[in-house]
Amino acid sequence: MKKGKKLLREQKGLSLVEVVVSMGVLVALFALYAVALNTTTLTKKLRYQNVAYHVANKKIEELRGVAFVSLPPSGTISDSLLSQIPAGSGSFTVVDYSEFSGLKEITVTVTWNEGAIAKQVLVKTLAGSGGINP
């Protein structure tokens, strides 16, 4: 009988140290989960931006192959990569550069939606009669 009472007194519950260590482990696991979730969201957003820059750069390179006098004043971009970003679309404009004659400014814009927020990538370059970026 004495052994049973002694055993009950020794096993009353968890010590304060055990509770603190358990809470620390739970907080650390929750922090790791939150970081992983945030990283996944950020990676998706950066992937959209990377695709948009790739499409814009590809259009700039395409316009480099067009003769200076034949550059169209504006247009839309039809690239299969635009389907990889939500509501992705693109356009470009070519205008005379105001600071120097004989130069044109090419602006390529790629837009998409991230939820309710509209995002865009804007790439500009100059083209001259002697070639692009004189």
Read off the tokens for 115.
Answer: 């939820």
Read off the tokens for 3.
Answer: 């052994």
Low-confidence ranges of the chain (pLDDT < 70): 1-12, 130-134
pLDDT score recorded for residue 134: 45
Q: What share of the chain is helix, strand, coil (3-state, %, to 5)?
A: 50, 30, 20
pLDDT score recorded for residue 75: 93
Q: Give the list of residues 6+ apart from residue 23 with CB closer than 8 angstroms, or none.
A: none
pLDDT score recorded for residue 50: 93
pLDDT score recorded for residue 66: 85
